[in-house]
Structure 1
Amino acid sequence: MISASMTAALEPVYREQLMRLAREVSFEAGTRLFEEGRRADRFWIVRTGTVALHLHVPGRRPAVIESLGNGELVGWSWHFPPHLWHLGAEAVSPVRAWEFDAEAVRAMCAADPELGRAVAVWVGRVIAQRLHATRIRLLDLYAPYGSGGLT
């Protein structure tokens, strides 16, 4: 599978442009970064630590879909209207990350169509990976044994 990390997905010139908007943040273990259905106004690139993505399942505990670490994008919902989170996220361990203001990044992408295309392709790769991970995890949790095999 093609890596969806920012360093693998974006050319250095585009990474440099985005990093001008980054600010360093940290989260203690157990900190909720965002909740499913709420406004998506920022995103993060993990530097250290682990963030778990959760999917709300009515009548059950949230299902952990994927754990994200160094270099990985946390959050893609900021990129597409209506800018609402599709999953929830929580720091599993202490996390250091780069935080980006979604509105500022969208404005930068609108002003530079090549950057905008590169970011859209990167975010698209992340979405494809998250959809695959979600499918596999939900089959693991809820499908009858053996029904999740790929043919």
Structure 2
Amino acid sequence: MAVRGLERIVSEHPFFAGLDESFLDLVRGCAKNVRFSPNQHLFREGGPADQFYLIREGRVALEIAAPGYGAVTFQTVGEGDIVGVSWLFPPYRWTYDARAVDRVRAISLDGKCLRDKCEDDHSLGYDVMKRLVPILMNRLQATRLQVLDVYGKPAA
């Protein structure tokens, strides 16, 4: 895909919607197109968190390993969502698995590249954090509801 196409895709993704054009120029310098086949992992728990994904097409299951249960999906995300926020927080390791449910097309942003740009320009870093925190809060809420669903109502 031409660089121009990549610029448009990053600019139009809901996560970066409304981001200042100068910030978009910085972000796009960290981006590349990627694809995943069904059941292929985008990343695995414990591995180096070095990417951040803007999902363009397909669904991704976010999973945690549960002793006696195997992989438990706590949320499934799709087009317009993001996957992978551990690139921003030390020790930069994945805290869950992300697995393609079907064919996934995404933009992969190099985590170190983006982290360095956020560190160099704190206004960009603040804007990225304002976009990430609501997503983290929603994922935390989804996980809480999943736990309640799995374990049910406590005994009286």
| TM-score, normalization by structure 1 | 0.86
Q: Any stretches of 5+ residues in structure 1 without a counterpart?
A: none
Asked if 1:121 is matched to 2:142, the reply is no
* Partner residue in 2 for 1:11: 19
How far residue 138 of structure 1 moved from its aligned partner, in angstroms, is 1.3
* Partner residue in 2 for 1:42: 51
* Partner residue in 1 for 2:120: 111
1:59 to 43, 55, 68: 68
Q: Any stretches of 5+ residues in structure 2 without a counterpart?
A: 1-13
Q: Check conservation: 1:76, 1:126, Cα contact below 8 A.
A: no
* Partner residue in 2 for 1:97: 106
How far residue 117 of structure 1 moved from its aligned partner, in angstroms, is 0.5
SS of the residue 2:67 aligns to: coil
Asked if 1:136 is matched to 2:145, the reply is yes
User: Matched residues in 2 for 1:84 and 1:49: separation?
Assistant: 24
User: Matched residues in 2 for 1:125 and 1:19: separation?
Assistant: 22
How far residue 77 of structure 1 moved from its aligned partner, in angstroms, is 0.9
| TM-score, normalization by structure 2 | 0.83
Higher helix share: 2
User: Matched residues in 2 for 1:81 and 1:107: separation?
Assistant: 13
Q: CA RMSD in A?
A: 2.0
